[in-house]
């Protein structure tokens, strides 16, 4: 934390939160890159560094193994593997970063989908010697599927290709092609050497020809506020506040987290799925009434009329309502060891509403090596990415995932084991 001289200055208190996910394998130098980011922004404290040095030496790693910073579980350290998504934070005077680091083997897809679900930015690692490989396509595909607004490709190990601007230009051209194919709007490559530190936090002296930002500069200046859906008002009701105390005798507030649009007092409201209409009387918090709020603030909305509203209902703009759907076509990441068969019945959680779903059709599954859709699979296995059709036991008020990540996403729950077995992104609804 010593990079920060005055943590409770106005600037530091107002710093935006940026959530990022890193994708890549140990071979691409991912741990080194993360270690470099943390080390050069002075987030690694003396006792952590000492512990890592000591353990590296005891294990005979022959170098300071920065992967040990995130590998905290006993089995991980004993077997030298990473088991689960690790979350780390770091802060600069400009931004507060939340990093989800997903390990790059066996359970990869499931882990990356988990880490990527809340990310503003995905950092995808590429080894400059190998360029765009199958794994790069897979990571980019997942980032596109999860509608991560910004992708940074860290073209690493530039020191091993003599810092060649020609080599970087070749890789950049391949990436542009990939971005076009996947419909990625903001994919940008940065040449670097995580081992030496070039273009991670500091520019370094390896690539004087590079005039673009370092990775950190890019992450510090990306505009993430423009990614929000400010057009379609959405407010899933989480909890009804009814104090029953004398001073708040008739108080009835709908608590929840804004999922879209800008909410103001006086706005017209439709309550879904019932279709009842009202108007916003106030948007408030413990700190008082607010003039306007947007996602993802947690607030309480009061309505002018005493309409019937409960948990799981969605408040929305009647002029731009969500789709009240009984049938969904969705992209699905299957996350369970037990395969998914057609006709299965599952629990589904969408915003604050829990209903049940029947799998009507397994439409297609992606061949993860070629990224080509294979029609009509007989079942889905762990880590499969597929398109499915679901029929719902009760209607849900939804948007497509590309329109709104909060109201277009759902999870599937196995009703026998209570496990979370699938992550869904709505493509179409009716």
Q: Which residues pair with 276 in a beta bridge?
A: 271
In whole angstroms, the minimum distance from the beta carbon of 386 to other proteins comes to 16
Minimum distance between the CB of residue 66 and other proteins, rounded to whole angstroms?
A: 13
CA angle 216/295/179 to nearest 5° reads: 50
Q: Report, in Å, the least distance between residue 108 CB and other proteins.
A: 13
CB of 186 to other proteins, least distance (A): 18
Based on CB atoms, which residue is closest to other proteins, 190 or 396? 396
Residue 74: CB atoms within 10 A of its CB come to 8
Q: What dihedral angle (degrees, nearest 10) is formed by the CA atoms of 16, 19, 25, 29?
A: 10
Q: Which of 52, 187 has the CB closer to other proteins?
A: 52
How many other C-beta atoms lie within 10 A of the C-beta of residue 165?
15
Instruction: Name the minimum Å distance from CB 110 to other proteins.
Output: 6
State which residue, 33 or 85, has the beta carbon closest to other proteins: 85
Q: Which is nearer to other proteins, 57 or 285 (CB)?
A: 285
Q: List, in sequence order, every beta strand (DSSP E) within 373-419.
A: 373-375, 379-380, 385-398, 409-413
Whichever of 209 and 251 has its CB closer to other proteins, that residue is 251
Q: 84 or 327, CB closer to other proteins? A: 84
Contact in structure between 238 and 311 (CB atoms under 8 Å): yes
Question: Which residues, in sequence order, are CB contacts of 283 under 8 Å at separation 6+?
Answer: 263, 264, 265, 289, 290, 292, 293, 299, 300, 301
324 has which bridge partners?
397
Written as six digits, the tokens of 251 are 């108080």
Smallest gap, in angstroms, from Cβ of residue 105 to other proteins? 14
Q: Which is nearer to other proteins, 110 or 157 (CB)?
A: 110
Cβ closer to other proteins: 285 or 402? 285
Question: 318: exposed, middle or buried (C-beta count within 10 Å: 0-12, 13-18, 19+)?
Answer: middle
Helices 108-116 and 134-145: crossing angle, nearest 10°?
40
- What is the spatial distance between Cα 130 and Cα 376, in angstroms, rounded to a whole number? 34
Minimum separation from the CB atom of position 203 to other proteins (A): 26
Asked whether 424 and 334 are in contact (CB, 8 A), the reply is no
Q: Shortest approach of other proteins to residue 230 CB, angstroms? A: 6
Between 6 and 319, name the residue whose CB sits nearer to other proteins: 6
- The minimum distance between CB 131 and other proteins, in angstroms, equals 31
CB burial readout 386-424, b (16+ within 10 A) else e: bbbbbebeebbbbbbbebbbbbbbbbbbbeeeeeebbbb
Q: How far is the CB of 16 from other proteins (least distance, A)?
A: 6
Query: How far apart (Å, rounded) are the C-alpha atoms in residues 225 and 235?
Result: 19
Segment holding 329, helix H or strand E: strand 323-334
Toward other proteins, which CB reaches closer, 204 or 253? Answer: 253
Rounded to the nearest 10°, the torsion over CA 222, 228, 230, 233 is -170
Rounded CA-CA distance 242/262 in Å is 25
């Amino acid at each position: 934390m010593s990079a920060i001289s005055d943590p409770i200055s106005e600037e530091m208190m107002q710093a935006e939160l940026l959530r990022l996910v890193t994708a890549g394998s140990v071979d691409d130098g991912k741990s080194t890159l993360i270690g470099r980011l943390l080390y050069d922004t002075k987030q690694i404290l003396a006792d952590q560094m000492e512990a890592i040095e000591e353990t590296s030496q005891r294990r005979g790693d022959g170098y300071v193994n920065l992967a040990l910073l995130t590998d905290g579980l006993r089995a991980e350290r004993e077997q030298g593997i990473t088991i689960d998504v690790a979350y780390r934070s770091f802060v600069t005077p400009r931004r507060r970063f939340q990093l989800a680091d997903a390990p790059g083997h066996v359970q990869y897809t499931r882990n990356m989908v988990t880490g990527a679900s809340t990310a503003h930015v995905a950092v995808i690692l590429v080894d400059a010697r190998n360029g765009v490989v199958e794994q790069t396509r897979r990571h980019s595909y997942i980032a596109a599927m999860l509608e991560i607004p910004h992708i940074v490709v860290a073209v690493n190990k530039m020191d091993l290709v003599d810092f060649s601007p020609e080599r970087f230009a070749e890789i950049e051209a391949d990436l542009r092609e990939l971005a076009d194919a996947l419909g990625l709007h903001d994919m940008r490559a940065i040449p670097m050497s995580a081992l030496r530190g070039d273009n991670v936090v500091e520019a370094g002296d390896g690539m004087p020809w590079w005039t673009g930002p370092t990775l950190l500069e890019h992450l510090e200046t990306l505009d993430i506020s423009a990614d929000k859906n400010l057009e379609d008002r959405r407010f899933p009701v989480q909890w009804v506040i009814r104090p029953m105390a004398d001073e708040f005798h008739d108080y009835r507030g709908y608590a929840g987290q804004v999922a879209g649009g800008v909410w103001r007092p006086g706005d017209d409201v439709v309550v879904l799925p019932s279709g009842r209409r009202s108007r916003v009387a106030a948007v408030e918090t413990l700190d008082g009434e607010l003039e306007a709020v947007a996602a993802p603030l947690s607030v309480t909305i009061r309505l002018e009329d005493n309409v019937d509203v409960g948990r799981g209902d969605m408040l929305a703009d009647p002029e731009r309502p969500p789709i009240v759907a009984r049938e969904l076509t969705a992209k699905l990441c299957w996350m369970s060891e037990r395969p998914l068969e057609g006709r299965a019945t599952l629990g589904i959680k969408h915003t604050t509403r829990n209903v049940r779903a029947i799998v009507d059709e397994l439409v297609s599954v992606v061949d993860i090596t070629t990224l080509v859709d294979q029609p009509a699979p007989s079942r889905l296995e762990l880590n499969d990415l597929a398109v499915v059709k679901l029929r719902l036991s009760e209607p849900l008020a939804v948007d497509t995932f590309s329109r709104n990540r909060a109201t277009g996403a759902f999870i599937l729950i196995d009703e026998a084991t209570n496990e979370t077995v699938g992550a869904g992104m709505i493509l179409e609804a009716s």
